[in-house]
Chain A
Amino acid sequence: MSGRYLALGIALVALATLPYWMTGIYYINVASQILFYAIFALGLNVLLGYAGLVSLGHAGLFGVTAYAVAYILQLGFGHSLAILGALVISMASMAVYAVLSLRATGIGFIMITLALGEILWGLAYRWISLTGGDNGLNVQTRPELFGYSLSDVNTFYYATLIIFLLSLGAVTVFVRSPLGAALMGTRDQPRRMNALGYHVWAIRFHACLFSGLLTSVSAIMFVYYTQFISPQTLALTSSAEVLLMVISGGAGTLLGPIVGAGLVVIVKTVVSGFIERWNFLLGAIFVAIVILMPEGLVPGTVRLWRLAWRKRARDAKAVPGSAEAKP
């Protein structure tokens, strides 16, 4: 137990001091990207891991928020209004998305979310007066927080880190709360939950809203980071990517999505600089994960670690010469 807290503590210290030991602006930026994609993955995981609902259209919601920020800024309003407006718009969109998708579960849910994601993508292309079509929208400046400008690399990193930690905290609280427990109940035994008097639909709906909140927070960081939004961000491949982040890291765990986000971002941005066929490599990594740790990197590593410890303990306990001794 204490080992885990020690590891988390070290990680926290490392993250907090990252700009000082990470060489180069570029890698600090990569760290920022990992963090806000991790928020996106955590948001999807609320549905995927804890509610058992696979959403293939989450990139659509991500995109809606990003477009909202960019569009409001283009209208001439300031950053606070843009962020607030985007949050409101994205929560409203998520509510509609949830109402439509929750009409089914299982594969039906997956397909409805796929259709919704594709429709949002199509809208991004066609509604040119709003979205600029495939030319996209530019975001000229980044906001200032308490006098610090997010245009500075380190400031942006710290802002992202703080928001990430808050999001992670929120997810932890959620998962450990009665609502979280109820949600997991609806994932595992929906009929029994119903029989016990829980309003399954309402629980799932609220989980969707929470997921939407995290997704929009991540999207706001994304659009300020990239300072550009275009329809590619809402494509099916983007939804698939965040899905892969969650699954490869470990759905239904707190750290899984973070590790998954790290994996995908690092292969896409850093490894792609060294290996030309990085797409193939990424696919191969996913296949390897399925073979070695189908439950995901985090639960799988924990499992293998425990196995190794248990083996060591067993070997240490065995008396030499007796029947229990391992060869």
Chain B
Amino acid sequence: MTFWLVLTANSITFGGLLFLLSAGFSLIFGLMRIPNLTHGSLFMLGAYVGATFVIGMLGVKMNFWLAAVLATLTVAFLGALAERLLLRRLPGDLLAQVLVTLGLAFMAADFCLMVWGGDPLSVATPPELAGFARLGILVFPNYRLAIIVIAGVVAIGLWLLLERTRLGAMIRAGVDDPDMARVVGIRVSQLFTIVFALGAGLAGFAGIIGGPILSVYPGLDQDMLPLALVVVILGGTGSLLGSFVGSIIVGFIYNFGQALLPELAYFVLFLPMLLVLLLRPQGLFGRHVP
């Protein structure tokens, strides 16, 4: 019985982490039509930078949440730089965007290896969330439950941003029709920088939040990028609700699939992804047929 409960709880928490990872990708792709293949690297950079702050520099250890905020800002800044200096020159040029994002991914991966070496870094769980919670017969780590809360807060925050603020309205207009948005006077290029920075920051945030669970190691970028792609495909691009629901669904498929169908462990995510693509290419909640 606990087996099912643990898997269910973990599906939701893993889904929460996946949401944090993929929300940024979905946003960038939905608005700017850029497949940001650097996304995994941004996740890893956020994890490394955050881990460095948590482990402590010059003997000063930092509070986990402060480190997370700083890591997020750092990665958001790097994202903004990449957008302004590189991606801005390539509107609509899919191939060049693929080339530059992959090139940046190579550079980021090797950079992390240069700076942090080959050894994995352990990120300590923030002490206030260490320990376990008892929910009936289920005993589950506090931190993982906290991730559900964090993902929920971020989801609500993004929703409020998109639905209730002027910036959000401009973003939605840009997603629906960039040319009309320009005609109406929306500074689309500035918007793009902000959105890319936001997406990158989300990825970095996801990286450090995932740190206590996943640790940080070379190759983390390549491990997480396909997961982001699967979520975005299942949930549909450009849709926040799609990202959220898609993440939870992928969380369930991942946990139950690996546990119950170990023979298919390597395909457990890609088979459903393929099925969805064949039957409904725009994903569950996507609006545009890609």
CA distance A279 to B108 in the complex (A): 10
- CB of B285, distance to nearest CB on chain A (Å): 15
Judge whether B214 is part of the interface by a CB distance below 8 angstroms. no
Judge whether B67 is part of the interface by a CB distance below 8 angstroms. no
CA distance A289 to B266 in the complex (A): 35
Partner-binding segment picked from B17-25, B95-103, B184-192: B95-103
- CB of B133, distance to nearest CB on chain A (Å): 35
Given A54-B95, A111-B233, A119-B267, A286 and B100 contact (CB-CB distance below 8 Å): yes
Contact across chains for A283 and B273 when beta carbons are under 8 A apart: no
Q: From residue 197 to 243 of chain A, which have CB atoms closer than 8 A to chain B?
A: 236-237, 240, 243
Could you say which residues of chain B place their CB within 8 Å of the CB of A100? 274, 278
CA distance A119 to B269 in the complex (A): 9
Given A119-B270, A279-B106, A111 and B277 contact (CB-CB distance below 8 Å): yes
Instruction: Mark contacts of B261-272 with chain A using CB atoms, 8 A cut-off: 1 yes-contact digit, 0 otherwise.
Output: 001001100110
CA distance A118 to B94 in the complex (A): 22
Point out the residue from B98, B104, B278 that lies within 8 Å of A247, measured CB to CB.
B98
Contact across chains for A104 and B94 when beta carbons are under 8 A apart: no
Partner-binding segment picked from B51-59, B85-93, B152-160: B85-93
Contact across chains for A54 and B222 when beta carbons are under 8 A apart: no
Given A108-B289, A111-B277, A114-B229, A283 and B90 contact (CB-CB distance below 8 Å): no
Closest chain A residue to B271, Cβ basis: A119
Judge whether B127 is part of the interface by a CB distance below 8 angstroms. no
Contact across chains for A283 and B107 when beta carbons are under 8 A apart: yes
Judge whether B105 is part of the interface by a CB distance below 8 angstroms. yes
Contact across chains for A104 and B290 when beta carbons are under 8 A apart: yes
Could you say which residues of chain B place their CB within 8 Å of the CB of A46? none
Could you say which residues of chain B place their CB within 8 Å of the CB of A123? 266-267
Closest chain A residue to B108, Cβ basis: A283
CA distance A86 to B226 in the complex (A): 29
Could you say which residues of chain A place their CB within 8 Å of the CB of B177? none
Judge whether A126 is part of the interface by a CB distance below 8 angstroms. yes
- CB of A63, distance to nearest CB on chain B (Å): 14
Point out the residue from B86, B237, B274 that lies within 8 Å of A290, measured CB to CB.
B86
Could you say which residues of chain A place their CB within 8 Å of the CB of B100? 286-287, 290
Contact across chains for A103 and B229 when beta carbons are under 8 A apart: no
Instruction: Mark contacts of B100-132 with chain A using CB atoms, 8 A cut-off: 1 yes-contact digit, 0 otherwise.
Output: 101111111111001000000000000000000
Point out the residue from B103, B114, B271 that lies within 8 Å of A286, measured CB to CB.
B103
**Residue picked from B105, B109, B277, B290, most chain A C-beta under 10 Å:** B277
Judge whether B35 is part of the interface by a CB distance below 8 angstroms. yes
Judge whether A248 is part of the interface by a CB distance below 8 angstroms. yes
- CB of B257, distance to nearest CB on chain A (Å): 12
Chain A interface residue bracket vs B:
35 or more
Could you say which residues of chain B place their CB within 8 Å of the CB of A289? 99, 103
Judge whether A106 is part of the interface by a CB distance below 8 angstroms. yes
Judge whether A25 is part of the interface by a CB distance below 8 angstroms. no
Judge whether A291 is part of the interface by a CB distance below 8 angstroms. yes
Could you say which residues of chain A place their CB within 8 Å of the CB of B37? 240
CA distance A285 to B100 in the complex (A): 10
Given A108-B277, A126-B266, A283 and B237 contact (CB-CB distance below 8 Å): no
Given A119-B267, A279-B106, A48 and B273 contact (CB-CB distance below 8 Å): no
Closest chain B residue to A126, Cβ basis: B266
Closest chain B residue to A248, Cβ basis: B99
Contact across chains for B104 and A287 when beta carbons are under 8 A apart: yes
Judge whether A294 is part of the interface by a CB distance below 8 angstroms. yes
Could you say which residues of chain A place their CB within 8 Å of the CB of B273? 111, 115
Q: From residue 94 to 148 of chain A, which have CB atoms closer than 8 A to chain B?
A: 100, 103-104, 106-108, 110-112, 114-116, 118-119, 121-123, 125-126
Contact across chains for B277 and A115 when beta carbons are under 8 A apart: yes
Q: List 5 A-B contacts (CB under 8 A).
A: A104-B289, A118-B226, A277-B110, A283-B106, A290-B90
Q: What are the 8 closest A-B residue pairs judged by CB atoms, nearest first?
A: A122-B266, A283-B106, A286-B103, A107-B290, A283-B107, A280-B110, A108-B281, A115-B274
Residues of A within 8 A of B (CB): 48, 54, 100, 103-104, 106-108, 110-112, 114-116, 118-119, 121-123, 125-126, 236-237, 240, 243-244, 247-248, 251, 277, 279-280, 282-287, 289-291, 294-295
18 extra interchain contacts, Cβ-Cβ under 8 A, other than A118-B267, A286-B100? A104-B277, A107-B290, A108-B281, A108-B289, A108-B290, A111-B290, A112-B278, A115-B270, A115-B274, A118-B270, A119-B274, A122-B266, A125-B266, A247-B96, A287-B100, A287-B103, A289-B103, A294-B99
Residues of B within 8 A of A (CB): 29, 35, 37, 86, 89-90, 93-96, 98-100, 102-111, 114, 222, 226, 229, 233, 237, 263, 266-267, 270-271, 273-274, 277-278, 281-282, 289-290
